[in-house]
Structure 1
Amino acid sequence: MTACFWGFFAGSALASERGHHINADILGIIITNPRLRWWRRLIVLTIELVVTAAILYWGYLMLAEELAKYPIWKTTPALKIPYFAWRVSIFLGFFFMTVFAAAYLYAHIRGIEIDYGDDTDAEDMNKKKEAGQ
Structure 2
Amino acid sequence: MKKLLCFMMVAFMAFVITPMIAVAETVASAVVDSPTGLDLGIYFATLSGLVTAVILLTQFFKTAIETHGIKTNYLSWIIALVLSIAGYFLQLGMFYGMPWYWIPIYALSAGLIANGIAGKQVVEAILSLFNSKNL
* TM-score, normalising length: structure 1: 0.32
Higher relative contact order (CA 8 A, sep 6+): 1
* TM-score, normalising length: structure 2: 0.31
Q: Which has the larger radius of gyration?
A: 2
